[in-house]
Amino acid sequence: MDEVFFYQHFNLIGVIIYILLVIQGGVFSLASKAFTMTNISKIKEGSKGSLYGSSAVLLEIYEKMNKFNTCRRLINVIFMFLWGVHIGTGIFLLDKGFVFIFIGLVLVLFYLMVSEILPSGIASNDPLKYAFALARVIKLYMIILTPVVAALNGASGFLLRLFGKSQNPENEKSSEEEVISMVEKSYEEGHIDAKGKQMISSIFDYDDIICKEIMTARTDVFLIDIEDYKKEDVETLLELKFSRIPVCRGGIDNIEGILFVKDFLLETTKGIAPSDVDIAKLLREPYMVPETKKIDSLFVELQKKKQHMAILIDEYGGFSGIVTMEDIIEQIMGDISDEYDDEEVKVIRLSANSYKLYGAIDLEDVIKATSMKARDTDSETLGGYILDILGEIPEEDSLPIEVTDDENHFRICTINDRRIGEVILNIERKNNVGEGE
């Protein structure tokens, strides 16, 4: 009789522990997802003229997210410990070992589904609503557990100091999505202009960009072949007004070094004719990197090595293009022009739906400037996009060449070294939607 009484009460205790475990797990999981998916600006907006309630409590929790996360973990550990003790006791004290193990595993899986997976789906429907609804409950949890959390933070802080680390529990970094959302909001409200918005967004993209995406392609690089050095090369060198020129030997894929134009000009002051200057002895060692290298890493390396240009090598060991310090900085700051840069006109509007373009223009820039609808493509330039549609390399004697892509009609006017040059774009807009400005 005593054993039956103990067994009944033992199971009752287990049911109570399990129900509390599921409830608290679900509440904290739902709150965590809702808090993560809701930024501060939405919290402030949601409190105005809504039935959600005051934003003060929720904003207070956001300021103490580290404490919230600690409370969530602490409650999970406490109840998991009690549940483990209960199952362990059932296995060793009662003659129900296999049954307790089976039931325990099933209930753990049920707990994960109800308290972890399900709340995530619920919160995604209306995160702001659930964030406000659970704010006061979560704050109550945090107040009750304050002494325990303080003790844990004190102990962890002591251990961190032993290893020479610091602890700052209340300053949790905002996620990239939250910052971008705040930037978008500030732009909409007029606090920052379009350039400021673009600059901040570029900072987040900075560590994801590889050199190949911003390089000057090999076909656009002016090089000097040391074995085929001509007077015309000197004239071009002086006309282009570059400060550094890649020099190859016997072919474009065999980069021999970098010629500093100031070194070249210094030689001419010694009475040596420009065409007679021995370029080979003036060459500096090129800094070569794979074209897939991240630009943030390259920037640091160029600074350390006091270099201003990197030679990019493709996977087959061939010359791919060049990247300069200026190219990298422009990814954040925008175009940097000096006194030698020609004013570049990328898009010339001829009429409401007609534009004069050039094949080397980035396809994204064309889409932004003209509101052109483009099909999915791997091409990065307008010229590449047109070639993708055409399916072949156009011949100069076939000019002008007409290419049609849905509502876009391209007329190829010039071709230079098998690359598309001047292009006239005419767009037959449907219902005049998306007309470029």
**Domains in the chain, start-ordered, CATH in brackets?**
2-162 (no CATH), 176-208 (no CATH), 211-333 (3.10.580.10), 348-427 (3.30.465.10)
Distances (CA, A) of 228 to 10, 224, 277, 291: 93, 8, 13, 27
Per-residue model confidence (pLDDT) at position 158: 78
Question: What does each C-alpha distance from 42 to 20, 60, 182, 208 come to in angstroms?
Answer: 31, 15, 10, 28
Question: Read out DSSP for 178-214?
Answer: HHHHHHHHHHHTTSS-HHHHHHHHHHHHGGG-BHHHH
Kindly state the helix (H) or strand (E) to which residue 356 belongs, with its residue range.
strand 354-358
What pLDDT does 437 receive? 42
Within a 13 Å sphere around the CA of 221, how many CA atoms are in the beta-carbon half?
A: 26
Residue 30 buriedness (CB in 10 A; 0-12 / 13-18 / 19+): buried
- Of the candidates 354, 353, 356, 423, the one whose C-alpha atom is nearest the C-alpha of residue 386 is 423
Stated pTM of the model = 0.49
CB 14 within 8 Å of CB 22: no
pLDDT of residue 313: 92
Residue (of 84, 94, 35) closest to 59 by Cα position: 35
For the purposes of burial, counting CB atoms within 10 Å of the CB of 187, is it exposed (0-12), middle (13-18) or buried (19 or more)? middle
Report pLDDT for 78: 75
Tens-digit pLDDT string for the chain (437 aa): 444 444 544 566 667 777 777 777 778 778 877 777 766 655 655 554 444 455 677 777 777 777 787 887 887 777 777 767 766 666 655 555 566 667 667 777 777 777 767 777 777 777 777 777 788 888 887 888 888 888 877 787 777 777 766 555 444 445 556 667 777 767 776 767 777 777 777 777 777 788 988 888 888 888 888 887 776 677 777 777 788 999 998 888 899 999 998 898 888 888 888 778 888 889 999 999 999 999 888 998 999 888 999 999 988 889 999 999 988 888 877 666 555 555 455 788 888 888 888 888 888 888 888 888 888 888 888 888 888 888 888 887 778 888 888 888 888 888 877 788 888 888 887 665 444 44
- Give the per-residue pLDDT at 51: 42
pLDDT score, position 165: 62
Nearest C-alpha neighbor of 370 from the set 315, 303, 425: 425
Determine the Cα angle at 397 with ends 394 and 401, to 5°.
50
pLDDT at 140: 84
Provide the token pair at 102: 């089976």
Question: Cβ distance 64 to 142 under 8 Å?
Answer: yes
Q: Is 408 helix (H, G, I), strand (E, B) or coil?
A: strand
Q: Count of CB atoms within 10 A of residue 418's CB?
A: 11
- The DSSP letter of residue 395 is P
What are the beta bridge partners of residue 166?
A: none
